[in-house]
Amino acid sequence: MKPQNLHAHEDRLLDFAYGELPAPDAQVVESHLQGCARCTQALDDIRGVRVTMGHLSEESAPDAGLESLLAYAQQSARRASAGPAPKPSRWRRWLLPVVGLASVSTLGILTFSAQSPELTQANLAAAEVMPSKKAAPVPSASARSAEPSAAPAPAAAAEAPPPPPEMRDDDAEYAPKDAAKTRSAEVQRAEGWALAGSGGDVGGRGRADELKAKVKGAESFGGKQSRSKTAPAEKSQREVSNLDEEALAEAAPAQAVASSSPPRDGLRLGGSSAKKEANKLSADDLAKDGAWDEGPGAPALEAVTEPLAQGTVVSAPAPSSANESRGGVAQQPSDAREQLELDRASASRAKSPMKATRKAEAVPEAPMPRPAPVTPAAVGRSEAEDSASGSSVAELSRQAQSANRAGDRSQEARLLRLALAAGASGTERAGLLNRLCDAELALGRRREGLAACNQVLTEAPGSSAAQAARRRLSHEAESVETPTSDAQPAP
Amino acid sequence: MLAFQAGDARAFEALVRRHRTPVFNFILRFVGQRARAEDVLQETWLKVVRSAGEYQAKARFTTWVYTIARNLCVDSARKESYRQAASLESPVSGVDGEEGRALADALPDSGASPERGAYNARLRPLLERALASLPEEQREVFILREYSGIPFKEIADVTGVSENTVKSRMRYALDGLRRRLAELGVDGDLAEDGRTVVG
């Protein structure tokens, strides 16, 4: 037998020993084994090992873990039979982000809604400032354009210095207004956050009300000064004294542009009043005051004679003037008054064009009103109100003047009407009517104010009060025209 | 297995009951330690359950399950070697064609008893020692073919080598066992008679 064949048989012996050879091949091997001792020995060796190792008995598998294995298999089989098991997981995979997004959206909406009061306040504050921004510059522009025709007479006739101080007053007054506006916006935002965070800043509101009352008092303090005999000049100077030096410096170049800006003065009811209190109150307080002064219910409170309500009454003209500015009748009341005041102030301040000197002058020129405290003024109003019915014309006039100093124009108008009803006559009556005209226009009651001015012209056409009333009416007419032209570009 | 894939848990139970003991014996003779064998057995069936979706009908279930068991045995043996926890049955060395030497060889032989009643009790450790002396690749082929009844062709599938390699390893395993049994004093012929050469 060749070695190759032998090797081939040995390979087949293994298959033959384990019975893996097909029957024909197995017969061939068997026939070969009968004549081949070597292959027979090899096969015997294989069989001998198999027999020996076959005594190694089979061990049974442990039962430990069998039950848990079958339970696990059962669970797996249920999942397999469920089929679309992965779908829920996929759905859950989407559910979490969707729910999270919805939560964030809800939170954002809630935050926005919580911010909306703040935004409303900011809008209100902006609405209050808007007349100063929207109406004032445009009227000033129109005034600049109209200045050569209408205003130049007094301005040109007077000395050159007086107009610039007036312009400085106005411009400088305007510059802090913008700064105060931005500050007020920030404060409004912060206040809004406080409201949003706590769900309503009761304390903050109370504080704002308190500060508002203080501001009202201070505002009335300013109004009181303006109503005094030297009021026009004093008021302007006091306003200037409250301005920053830098703002004045910035406002200086604008002096050459126009000689006067009545529309800006009209904003003093809301804006300049806030500036007046800048000495006593912070910009934050002013911003809050500007926001709280606005309100639909404020005009309705004009008729209220209670001292507490009078603090709000002062704020009434602000929204009305703002509304009128949009409607085309803006700033007329204060414009007429301010023009009168400015005319007087221009004369009184002719010697002191510089604001620093004017600042110094403001103190001695107004020694009377400044010491007047805010709270006693309110108390005095209530006392004057109690005694108004039985007082004489002079007493009522004095009380009305006190109310004017306190800034309570409504009370002033009421007392003036009482004084007129008490039987005032002659020059005194004309003066009372003139003051009533001023007070009514300042309160935004244009019709009543015009009626009072017309009554002065009718009853005492040649008096100085009639001249003032005529001047006030002319300015009123101008301011009526100006806002209409301003209202045109408005949306 | 296809029934189990379809969700029939009882089919799996039938598979387990049919193949559990052969698989366990394969594992036990592969790893040589009962505790480890039990762990590997449980792990094997858990893997069968987890991998049920991957089973394809073109292969026999026996081949598939032994492949899983064999791989787990190899992993377990490697872990054991990493721990260097030398087993008495583990061979010191050995490659194809060479017989591995077990540490148990250094131990004194308890000797063979002429009494027939004690034959199995004394023969079994010798057989286990002889089997453990085989290199891993020879041992697995011998176990799969001799005890599990897996044909050489399927053993090639399980072990991932060619059929000829499997047969070659089988021949080496048979030669090694024969020599080792002779060294241990176990004669196949005598064993049939209930006697031992050594003794």
Residue B52, domain CATH: 1.10.1740.10
- For B177, the closest chain A residue by CA position comes to A49
Q: Say if A415 falls within a structural domain.
A: yes
**A402-410 average pLDDT score:** 85
Number of domains, chain B: 2
**Nearest alpha-carbon partner for A285 in A223, A236, A200, A212:** A212
Q: Say if A346 falls within a structural domain.
A: no
CA dist A196 to A110, A119, A201, A205, A462, Å?
A: 9, 11, 8, 13, 60
User: Which position has the higher pLDDT, A464 or B130?
Assistant: B130
- Give the closest-approach CA distance of B25 to chain A in angstroms: 6
CB contact set of A281 (below 8 Å; sequence gap of 6+): A211, A214, A215, A218, A289
**At which residue do the structure tokens 């409004």 appear?**
A188
Contact A73 B28 (CB under 8 A): no
A431 pLDDT band, cuts 50/70/90, is confident
Taking the CA atoms of residue A259, residue A263, residue A268 and residue A271 in that order, the dihedral angle to the nearest 10 degrees is -110
Contact B5 A80 (CB under 8 A): yes
A88 pLDDT band, cuts 50/70/90, is low
B31-87: pLDDT as tens digits: 888 888 988 998 898 888 888 877 777 778 888 889 999 999 988 888 877 775 555
DSSP-derived letter for residue B187 is -
Number of domains, chain A: 3
Same domain, residue pair A156 and A291: yes
- Give the closest-approach CA distance of B190 to chain A in angstroms: 9
A48-62: pLDDT as tens digits: 999 888 888 788 888
Same domain, residue pair B33 and B104: no
Q: What is the CATH number of the domain that holds A391?
A: 1.25.40.10
Q: Calculate the average pLDDT of chain A.
A: 59
Residues of A with CB below 8 A from B41's CB? 61-62
Q: In this structure, what are the phi and psi dihedrals at residue B107, rounded to the nearest 5 degrees?
A: -80, 145
**Nearest alpha-carbon partner for A124 in A331, A288, A310, A324:** A288
Residue that terminates a domain, selected from A244, A276, A295: A295
Residues of B with CB below 8 A from A72's CB? 46, 49
Residue that terminates a domain, selected from A268, A295, A322: A295
B25 interface with A at CB cutoff 8 Å:
yes
CB contact set of A190 (below 8 Å; sequence gap of 6+): none
Contact B21 A58 (CB under 8 A): yes
Same domain, residue pair B164 and B104: yes
Same domain, residue pair B187 and B113: yes
CA–CA gap between residue A399 and residue B178 (Å, rounded): 136
**A363-368 average pLDDT score:** 42
CA dist B151 to A15, A387, B147, B157, Å?
A: 9, 127, 11, 10
**Residues 45-84, chain B: which have Cβ within 8 Å of A?**
45-46, 49-50, 52-53
Side chain identity at residue B173, one-letter code: A
Strand, coil or helix: what is B102?
strand
Beta bridge partners of B91: B102
A191 pLDDT band, cuts 50/70/90, is very low
Most confident of A118-132, A234-248, A307-321, A394-408: A394-408
B155 interface with A at CB cutoff 8 Å:
no
Within 10 angstroms of residue A230's Cβ, the number of other Cβ atoms is 18
Interface confidence (ipTM) of the complex = 0.75
**At which residue do the structure tokens 């294989």 appear?**
A46
Q: Say if A414 falls within a structural domain.
A: yes
Q: Calculate the CA B140 to chain-centre distance.
A: 5
Confidence check: pLDDT of A374 > 50: no
Helices (H), ranges, A199-256: 202-227, 231-241, 245-251
Chain A residues with CB under 8 Å of a chain B CB are: 10-11, 14-15, 18, 20, 45-62, 64-66, 69-70, 72-74, 76-78, 80-82
Strand, coil or helix: what is A328?
coil
Q: What is the CATH number of the domain that holds B126?
A: 1.10.10.10
In which domain, by residue range, is B114 found?
90-199
Residues of A with CB below 8 A from B24's CB? 59-62
User: Which position has the higher pLDDT, A157 or A80?
Assistant: A80
Same domain, residue pair B33 and B130: no
Residue that terminates a domain, selected from B85, B102, B136: B85
CA–CA gap between residue A326 and residue A130 (Å, rounded): 10
Q: Say if A81 falls within a structural domain.
A: no
Q: In this structure, what are the phi and psi dihedrals at residue A102, rounded to the nearest 5 degrees?
A: -65, -40
Based on the number of CB atoms within 10 Å of its own CB, is A55 exposed (0-12), middle (13-18) or buried (19 or more)?
middle
Same domain, residue pair B104 and B180: yes
Token representation of residue A329: 């009748």
- Give the closest-approach CA distance of A110 to chain B in angstroms: 48
CB contact set of A406 (below 8 Å; sequence gap of 6+): A217, A220, A221, A223, A224, A372, A377, A378, A380, A381
Same domain, residue pair A188 and A288: yes
Please report the pLDDT score of residue A372 as a whole number.
41
Contact B171 A78 (CB under 8 A): no
Torsion sign across C-alpha atoms A58, A62, A63, A66: negative
User: Which position has the higher pLDDT, A327 or A473?
Assistant: A473
Q: Say if A171 falls within a structural domain.
A: yes
- For A47, the closest chain B residue by CA position comes to B188
B130 interface with A at CB cutoff 8 Å:
yes
Confidence check: pLDDT of A486 > 70: no
Question: What is the DSSP annotation of B59-94?
Answer: S-HHHHHHHHHHHHHHHHHHHHHHHT---TTSBS--
- Give the closest-approach CA distance of A23 to chain B in angstroms: 16
A145 pLDDT band, cuts 50/70/90, is very low
- For B27, the closest chain A residue by CA position comes to A61
Residue that terminates a domain, selected from B85, B105, B135: B85
In which domain, by residue range, is A393 found?
373-480
- Give the closest-approach CA distance of A89 to chain B in angstroms: 18
- Give the closest-approach CA distance of A20 to chain B in angstroms: 8
Same domain, residue pair B117 and B197: yes
Same domain, residue pair A168 and A254: yes
pLDDT in tens, chain B (199 residues): 777 777 777 788 888 888 888 899 999 988 888 888 988 998 898 888 888 877 777 778 888 889 999 999 988 888 877 775 555 555 544 444 444 444 444 333 444 445 555 666 778 888 888 998 999 999 999 999 998 889 999 999 999 999 999 999 999 999 999 999 888 887 654 444 444 443 3
- For A42, the closest chain B residue by CA position comes to B175
Residue that terminates a domain, selected from B30, B53, B85: B85
A268-304: pLDDT as tens digits: 443 344 444 444 444 444 334 443 443 333 333 343 3
Residues of B with CB below 8 A from A44's CB? none
Residues of A with CB below 8 A from B170's CB? 14
Percent of chain A with pLDDT over 90: 3
Token representation of residue B179: 């020599």
Token representation of residue A480: 């009526």
> Do B97 and B191 contact (CB within 8 A), yes or no?
no
Same domain, residue pair B80 and B94: no
CB contact set of A258 (below 8 Å; sequence gap of 6+): A140, A143, A144, A147, A167
